[in-house]
């Protein structure tokens, strides 16, 4: 009995110590949690993203919004992205300056909109007789394209990533048949980038308009023709109500890349893992957007033809030859601008030759033979 009493008395202090220790641990845990909360808040990354697209516009706009949401999801909410569609914070074509100045951290746009700031920007969306989606990706990732893009962007305090693509675009909407290059003379056409400069060589008057202003200008007659993207987007824009003839293929944008342009000072202030997260989210959207366009363009084209009576027309070889001549004149002028333009064009030409030679032996012959054999 006495031994049991001693044993119990011997354990009592240990239990008291345990209770005290547990209480102390609880207090420490509460203190730690109260200290951890501000640390998490301090780790939050606030991002203002401006874009050149109307809100919820399918493909271009929704792709940019999807990218913004993906950044939040991938970071478990640490990235807080405030998304601004065209006109909500700045006008579409003011997006570049908003990010370059540091007022916003990121934009989503087509970089050829900025060719007035440096001609080389045009190569990183699409150029006439340029690279397809797969060829462009190969150039950017493995053939020196990203390094040249970085050099252009660095001159404006930016760092850019590929963040979407629309694929080969249509040639545009016209209210008259384009039987020869002469039919382009005097035509007021909404067409940006180097494609617009090619049209100017053929006597047209190129006009640059953001997407939200195209339809009203086409309906009013302020412009005679327009290009935009492809059947899915063009049907949504209701161009079939304002123009009769739908031409293909577009010589001006064979694989139009979209960019996530980041303020470089802001981007490099982030951790390496956060920088990589942004790059990976952009790369994912590059894949997803192209897949969506490929999935939806065919059905939209069928509706345009069968439900809306649109006349599908193909540019003749003579018209295309005139486009090619105009493109060579434009490229000669671009190369003469400065050393960076010349080096970018040389790299593009090499990619078109080297990467394009494989495309010419792989994708093109296979699709042609597949469709011939199946009667497609």
Res 21 pLDDT > 80: no
The confidence band for 311, taking pLDDT boundaries of 50, 70 and 90, is very high
Q: What is the mean pLDDT of the chain?
A: 91
How far, rounded to the nearest angstrom, does the alpha carbon of residue 180 sit from its chain's CA centroid?
33
The confidence band for 255, taking pLDDT boundaries of 50, 70 and 90, is very high
Res 27 pLDDT > 60: no
pLDDT at 122: 97
Please tell me what DSSP assigns to residue 194. Answer: H
Reported as a single tens digit per residue, the pLDDT across 160-175 is 999 999 999 999 999 9
Region 185-195: what's the mean pLDDT? 96
pLDDT at 23: 44
pLDDT at 90: 98
Reported as a single tens digit per residue, the pLDDT across 330-353 is 999 999 999 999 999 999 999 999
Q: Which residue has the higher pLDDT, 22 or 238?
A: 238
Res 82 pLDDT > 60: yes
Res 124 pLDDT > 90: yes
**H-only helix segments in the chain:** 2-42, 60-74, 95-100, 133-142, 145-154, 193-201, 214-220, 231-237, 264-269, 272-306, 317-335, 339-361, 363-374
Res 144 pLDDT > 60: yes
Res 26 pLDDT > 50: no
- What are the structure tokens assigned to 4, written together? 């049991």
Residues 6+ apart with CB under 8 A from 150: 159, 160
| Tally of residues, the chain | 376
Reported as a single tens digit per residue, the pLDDT across 260-291 is 999 999 999 999 999 999 999 999 999 999 99
Region 33-55: what's the mean pLDDT? 72
Res 40 pLDDT > 90: no
Residues 6+ apart with CB under 8 A from 245: 173, 174, 175, 176, 177, 178, 310, 311, 313
Res 249 pLDDT > 90: yes
User: For the chain, what is the total number of helices (H) and then of strands (E)?
Assistant: 13, 11
Q: How far apart are CA 113 and CA 208, in angstroms?
A: 9
Region 131-147: what's the mean pLDDT? 98
The confidence band for 57, taking pLDDT boundaries of 50, 70 and 90, is very high
pLDDT at 4: 40
pLDDT at 42: 54
How deeply is 241 buried, as exposed, middle or buried, from its count of CB atoms within 10 A (0-12, 13-18, 19+)?
exposed
Res 3 pLDDT > 60: no
Res 33 pLDDT > 50: no
pTM of the model: 0.87
Q: What class does CATH assign to 43-166+255-293?
A: alpha beta
Q: Are 267 and 275 in contact (CB under 8 A)?
A: yes
């Amino acid at each position: 009995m006495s031994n049991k009493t001693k044993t119990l008395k011997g354990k009592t202090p240990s239990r008291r110590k345990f209770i005290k220790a547990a209480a102390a641990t609880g207090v420490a845990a509460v203190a730690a949690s109260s200290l951890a909360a501000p640390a998490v808040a301090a780790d939050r990354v606030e991002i203002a993203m401006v874009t050149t697209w109307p809100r919820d516009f399918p493909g271009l706009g929704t792709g940019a919004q999807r990218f913004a949401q993906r950044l939040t999801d991938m970071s478990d909410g640490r990235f807080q992205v405030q998304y601004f569609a065209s006109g909500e914070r700045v006008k579409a074509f003011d997006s570049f300056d908003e990010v370059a100045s540091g007022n916003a951290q990121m934009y989503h746009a087509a970089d050829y909109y900025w060719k007035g700031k440096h001609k080389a920007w045009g190569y990183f969306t699409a150029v006439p007789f340029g690279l397809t989606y797969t060829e462009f990706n190969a150039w950017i990732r493995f053939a020196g394209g990203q390094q040249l893009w970085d050099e252009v962007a660095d001159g404006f305090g930016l760092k850019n990533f590929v963040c979407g693509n629309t694929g080969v675009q249509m040639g545009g909407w016209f209210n008259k048949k384009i039987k020869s290059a002469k039919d382009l003379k005097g035509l007021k056409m909404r067409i940006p980038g180097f494609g617009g400069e090619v049209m100017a060589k053929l006597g047209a008057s190129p006009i640059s308009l953001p997407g939200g202003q195209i339809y009203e200008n086409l309906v009013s007659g302020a412009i005679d023709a327009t290009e935009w993207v492809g059947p899915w987007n063009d049907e949504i824009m209701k161009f079939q109500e304002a123009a009769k003839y739908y031409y293909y293929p577009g010589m001006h944008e064979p694989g139009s890349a979209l960019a996530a342009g980041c303020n470089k000072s802001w981007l490099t202030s982030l951790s390496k893992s956060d920088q990589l997260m942004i790059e990976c989210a952009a790369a994912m959207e590059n894949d997803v957007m192209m897949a969506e366009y490929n999935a939806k363009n065919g059905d939209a084209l069928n509706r345009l033809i069968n439900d809306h009576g649109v006349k599908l027309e193909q540019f003749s070889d003579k018209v295309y030859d005139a486009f090619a001549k105009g493109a060579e004149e434009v490229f000669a002028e671009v190369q003469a601008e400065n050393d960076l333009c010349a080096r970018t064009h040389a790299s593009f030409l090499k990619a078109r030759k080297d990467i394009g030679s494989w495309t010419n032996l792989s994708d093109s012959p296979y699709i042609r033979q597949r469709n011939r054999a199946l009667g497609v």
